[in-house]
Structure 1
Amino acid sequence: MIDKLEMFMALAAEKHFGRAADVCGVTQPTLSSAIKQLEDQLGVQLVWRGSRFQGLTPEGLRVLEWARRIVGDARTLREEMRAVREGLSGVLRIGVIPTALPMIARLTDPFTERHPNVRLMIYSRTSIEILKEIEDLELDAGVTYLDNEPLGRVARVPLYSEGYQLLVTRGMALADRSSVDWGDLDGVRLCLLTGDMQNRRIVNHHLAAAGVEVDAQIESNSMLALLAHVATGRWASIVAEPVAELFQCDDIRAIPIRAPDAHHQVGLIAPWREPHTPLLEALLEDAAKIARIA
């Protein structure tokens, strides 16, 4: 039944029989047959059918919750038995918010040093995507904000406290300041992350609280794109401290933003499940060791 539950989860995530079949590495008729067999075994209809996928029935939604638990537990069991046979090995998939990408090696580098047979797949994701993909078992863990928007029921380990800095080129307005207030940014030509990023929602909140109207002509979900615009000398950006540390150079200054001195906690999250896989448990333990709360 596990393989059928995995196909059902893929269908719920993809909302399309063909794409779900591709994800599972089977043909569409094979996937459709597996879903029908699962319905027959459980005695309920799971999927509203028409000429195309039309959603899950109420029973299907309930079965999806159970599927996530059962498949998650089955994967944990397999990982634990493999660890008994071979030691820690396998793949961990970690989603990371863009502002935390510059610091992720502080966690992953010592982890891979201690566990050389483990491979890590690191994906740039929004905070919302991280939560969804952990729930759908598409990610094993995530690095995201812990204290700004609801996370739901997840295991969490704080890693650091994120402050914010103004990134400008030398010669621009405010570039000679040792620090600035949020209110000083009124009228500054800004390029910022897109609105689906929690960092952007945080920045918007602090600017609005200071009475600054946010009107970014340039928006991107890529920190590199923002840096490229800052480097032209025509734009400034508000970035998290780990990003500022990475990009500061002779031509670009990172100026702390004070008053208020805003900080938000960033940490590692994982499914609320006991026991965790041996790989995930080791990662959580390493995160607890390196945690640094500013």
Structure 2
Amino acid sequence: MTGRAPPPPGPPPGPPPGPPPRPPAPAPPRTAPPVLSPLPPKEHKAGSTSAESTADRGAATSALLESSGNAGNGLQQSASITFNNTADDKRAFALERTSLLQQLEIDRILSAFRLNPYDVLEVPLEADDKEINKIYRKKSLLIHPDKVKHERAVEAFDLLKKASSHLLDEEKRKALDETVMDARLMVLKELNLPFATPYDDARLANLSPSWDDRVRSATKELMVDDELRRRKAIRVQHQAEGEVQRKKEQAVEERKRKVEHDAAWEQTRDHRVADWRAFQKGSKKKKKSDPNVLG
């Protein structure tokens, strides 16, 4: 009895084999923009010269530069528009800022203490003529009525000009500075400090109200008193002048009445003489006609 040979090995158990899977579709090649894509190298035929190759490269370079130039012009135009908008905004902002400063300065002048030119012109007490002229010129140009649309611009401009003229007048400024000096001495007296106290003394640094505010308030008080006395003196002067004028007019009226009386007396003189003569004649006739009682 002979043995059998084993059967050949079969396929492994599982599903029957199918067709092989398809490879994935290749992605479409990316194409660069025509402006930036370089030209493919040109095949040179046998016998082509180097001049032809140079001409081709020059044409490609010109096309590339032209495309780049068009793109640059677009960017430049866009940047120009942005710049113009920015310039217009800056100009509008500058005009609005100037208008606001003009209104604020006019309001400040109109609300300042008008009897004190230092407050109206807003200059320090130690300012010289050069600084006063400089500040006046700057402020007058800012609020000039020809440049400002404000209903009280003329009034503010006149106050500014009057304050400048007052400070540039040597005699008027001397009197004004004397008033300010009296105000400082008055404040020092209120603080129980000696009159020789320097204005940079530490005891004057931390006052509340401040030293400057106290001096400004005292100066205002003295100026108001001076103005009231000045107005009273003007009223008294006007009254005196009015009394003198009244007496002059009364004397003229008296002379006029006397002249008119004398003229009327002269005009009736003939009539009075005639009446007197008639009266005299009547008296004589009456005496002749009287009977002699004792006869």
> TM over 0.5: same fold?
no
Greater helix content: 2
Greater strand content: 1
Shorter-chain-normalised TM-score: which range? Answer: under 0.3
TM-score (norm 1): 0.22
Using CA pairs below 8 Å that are at least 6 residues apart, which structure has the higher relative contact order?
Answer: 1
